[in-house]
Structures are given as structure tokens and as C-alpha cells.
Amino acid sequence: MRAAIAVVVVLLAGCSGRQNALDYASDQSRAIGDIWHLMLVVCGIMYLLMMGLLAWAIWHARRRLPDAPPATEAPAADGLLRKLLGSWTVLIVIGLFVLAGGSFFVDRKLAQSQDPHALQVRITGSEWWWQVEYLDPDPSRTVVTANELHLPVGRATRIELRSNDVIHSFWVPNLNGKTDLIPGRSNFQTITPRRTGQWRGQCAEFCGLEHARMAMDVSVEDAAAFERWRAAQLATARPPQSERQRQGQHVFMTSTCASCHAIMGTDAAGRVGPDLTHVASRRTLAAGALPMQPGALAGWIEDPHAHKPGTNMPATKLPPDQLAALVDYLMSLR
Ligand code: CUA
């Protein structure tokens, strides 16, 4: 009994989770889930039939082993075999037609999810992080962030996918299938979320040493929460509020940080690494490799290769008081 309960618990657990293609949270993932279930049923029936026939054949052969079959039985068995093979062929053809039809309709559904009022987002993959831009006809209203995606529930978001270096693949299993990010071209994916919540995206194409640590933190929010987030992201960075934060900002501007990172509202305008204007409002650091906490941030600045050995971010050795001031300043950028 206990074993049965354990099996049910494991099966149910397998159908939920923040990185799970069977825990649908959008129109697109539901369509993909439908074809998945159709394939499971068709192939499952075929498998069970096949195993059943195999078992029957073995049982029958063993029963007849001691002596050869009487010659008179042969024509009847031959006829039965022919009928069975004929039915089997018909079954396979029907199964394949059902699968091809299902695949055709799901493909059409995914291609049709174009919406002229969709939110426009551009995601650019780099080794090993994601730049995320919320595009607006007025360029001054473009939001730039990194490694996090906020989506409004019930509204389509059209995502343009590009790459800065090698081929990456954007995959948030709860929201849609995989789409490659290819250097020199744009691919598109539409997501229409139907449920608020937090999900995990992951680069799904091997792209080098830190491929596994190229995650995306995805939040689906109601429209009001999404607009609040967007308005907060549009603001320039919060100025330092204390002497220590002022010292931290000075460290940022005079060390190597500012040559790779941008902080809107300051002179830092580097575009090599993630935009840090509202870095502390994110939930993770280094594309999901670390939590957004002062200790983790200090460790990341001091020795990024200890946490993500392939990262292009260089280590920044600073005296302890300067490092603490820098972390204090960055953690104030909410
Ligand atoms: Cu980027 Cu794998």
C-alpha cells in the first residue's frame, strides 16, 4: 500500500514544478502538452499491443515445443497470421495518421499565436547570460534588464531571440518549447501566459563551459504588478543614500566595473555585461548561478571564477572596506 502511495506521489510531483513542460502555464505549452499526451496514448497502446502479441506468441510456441505441429493445423494458423498482420498494418497506419494530424494542428496553433498588440521583448544570448529588452516605439521607454523575464498574464508577448556569439536556445518549459538564438539572425517565439507564478528558463543548446549556468528567472504577473515593475525599471538608478554607498559608487566608477556594466543615471555605460541599473531588484545573480544576497554578491565580485569557472567577468580584488561599500551601493540599486 505504502509503495503504491509513494508511486502516486512521485507521479503527481512529476506533473508540477517551475521547470516542467507538463505543468502548463500558457496557451503554447498547453498545445505542446496536448500533442505530448496524444503521442503517449497512441504509442502506449501500440506498445501494449506489441507486448501482448509477443507474450501470446511465446506462450503459444512453448506449448507446442515438445512435438511439431500437426500438418492439418498449418493452413488455419497461416490464415490467422495473415489477418493479424493485416490488422496490425492498418493499426500502424491509423496511429501514424493520428500523430501527423495532431502535430499539424499544434504547429498551426503555435504559428497562429501572433497578436498585433503583443508586448515586444528582445532577448540576446551571450556567453553566459541573457540580455532582456522591453521594446517601445519611444526608445526612451525601453527597459533593459538581464537574466529575468517579467510577463503580464493573459497578454501575448512576442519575443525576438538573437545571439551575440554562439548558438544558444531559449527554453522555459512551463511556457513554450525551445527556440534557438542564432548569430546573425532573429528567431521569434510568442508566449501567452494564463497563470501567474515563477518559472525557470534554461539555455537548452550546449554553448560552452557555463552552458548549465545560463538560467532565466521568469515571473508571470497580473497587469498592474507588471506595469509597476516596468515603471520601476524605467527610472534611472537610485542615487547613493549614505556616505558608504557614495564610496561604493566611487569604487564602481574608478575600478574595472564601469567599463563593462551600465548604470542608468551615472557615467557607467558599458555594454559587455548586464545592465546593473536595478540589479538588486532581481532574484538571482550571474544568470541564476547565485542568489541575490550581499554575501553572494561580494563573493561574485571578488572571485567570479570560483562560482562560474568559465565566466568572462574578471576577478576584482579590492580592500575589504571598498568591497563592502561597493556591495552596499549595488544592493541599493533596486
Ligand atoms: Cu547558452 Cu547553452
Based on the fold, state whether residues 87 and 126 are members of the same structural domain. Answer: no
**pTM: predicted TM-score of the whole model, two decimal places:** 0.86
| Final residue in a domain of this structure, among 184, 206, 234 | 234
Distance (angstroms) between ligand 1 centre and the Cα of 213 equals 8
pLDDT of residue 63: 77
Q: Is 211 in the pocket of ligand 1 (CB under 6 A)?
A: yes
Count of domains in the chain? 3
Distance (angstroms) between ligand 1 centre and the Cα of 60 equals 53
Distance (angstroms) between ligand 1 centre and the Cα of 217 equals 15
User: The domain containing residue 194 runs over which residues?
Assistant: 119-234
Distances (CA, A) of 99 to 2, 27, 49, 216, 242: 37, 20, 17, 32, 64
Based on the fold, state whether residues 91 and 128 are members of the same structural domain. Answer: no
Based on the fold, state whether residues 140 and 226 are members of the same structural domain. Answer: yes
Distance CA 137, CA 239 (A): 28
Distance (angstroms) between ligand 1 centre and the Cα of 176 equals 17
Q: Is residue 226 part of a domain?
A: yes
Q: Is 207 in the pocket of ligand 1 (CB under 6 A)?
A: yes
pLDDT of residue 70: 55
Based on the fold, state whether residues 134 and 182 are members of the same structural domain. Answer: yes
**Closest ligand 1 atom to 167 CA:** 1
**Closest ligand 1 atom to 166 CA:** 1
By CB atoms closer than 10 A (0-12, 13-18, 19+), residue 99 is: middle
Cell numbers given for 253: 566608477
| Final residue in a domain of this structure, among 68, 90, 110 | 110
Based on the fold, state whether residues 99 and 182 are members of the same structural domain. Answer: no
Based on the fold, state whether residues 84 and 106 are members of the same structural domain. Answer: yes
pLDDT of residue 76: 63
**Closest ligand 1 atom to 127 CA:** 1
**Closest ligand 1 atom to 211 CA:** 2
Based on the fold, state whether residues 257 and 276 are members of the same structural domain. Answer: yes
pLDDT of residue 115: 77
Residue pair 90/162 in contact by the 8 Å Cβ criterion: no
pLDDT of residue 67: 61
Based on the fold, state whether residues 277 and 307 are members of the same structural domain. Answer: yes
CATH of residue 250's domain is 2.60.40.420
Distance (angstroms) between ligand 1 centre and the Cα of 267 equals 31
**Closest ligand 1 atom to 128 CA:** 1
Q: Which amino acid is at 46?
A: M
Based on the fold, state whether residues 132 and 78 are members of the same structural domain. Answer: no
Based on the fold, state whether residues 124 and 95 are members of the same structural domain. Answer: no
Burial state string for 102-115 with b = 16 or more CB within 10 A and e = fewer than 16: beeebeebbeebee
pLDDT of residue 177: 93
| Final residue in a domain of this structure, among 175, 206, 234 | 234
Distance (angstroms) between ligand 1 centre and the Cα of 43 equals 32
pLDDT of residue 149: 97
Q: Please provide residue 316's backbone torsions phi and psi, each rounded to the nearest 5 degrees.
A: -120, 105
pLDDT of residue 113: 61
Distance CA 189, CA 119 (A): 12
pLDDT of residue 72: 54
Q: Is 125 in the pocket of ligand 1 (CB under 6 A)?
A: yes
Distances (CA, A) of 234 to 104, 125, 139, 194, 220: 41, 22, 11, 26, 19
pLDDT of residue 4: 63
**What would you report as the CA-atom Rg of the chain, rounded to the nearest whole angstrom?**
28
Q: Is residue 8 part of a domain?
A: no
Q: How many residues does the chain have?
A: 334
**Closest ligand 1 atom to 214 CA:** 1
Q: Is residue 39 part of a domain?
A: yes
Q: Is residue 4 part of a domain?
A: no
- Among residues 162, 159, 166, 236, the alpha carbon closest in space to that of 190 is found at 159
Based on the fold, state whether residues 186 and 281 are members of the same structural domain. Answer: no
Q: Is residue 173 part of a domain?
A: yes
pLDDT of residue 5: 65
Q: Is residue 5 part of a domain?
A: no
pLDDT of residue 216: 96
Based on the fold, state whether residues 148 and 222 are members of the same structural domain. Answer: yes
Distance (angstroms) between ligand 1 centre and the Cα of 244 equals 37
Q: Is 275 in the pocket of ligand 1 (CB under 6 A)?
A: no
Each residue's pLDDT, cut to its tens digit, for the chain (334 residues) gives: 666 665 555 555 566 788 998 899 999 999 999 999 999 999 999 999 999 989 988 988 887 766 655 555 556 667 888 888 898 899 899 999 999 999 999 988 888 766 778 999 999 999 999 999 999 999 889 999 999 999 999 999 999 999 999 999 999 999 999 999 999 999 999 999 999 999 999 999 999 999 999 999 999 999 999 999 999 999 999 999 999 999 999 999 999 899 999 999 999 989 899 999 999 999 999 999 999 999 999 999 999 999 999 999 999 999 999 999 999 999 999 9
Q: Is residue 13 part of a domain?
A: no
pLDDT of residue 75: 60
Q: Atom 1 in ligand 1: which residue has the minimum CA distance?
A: 168
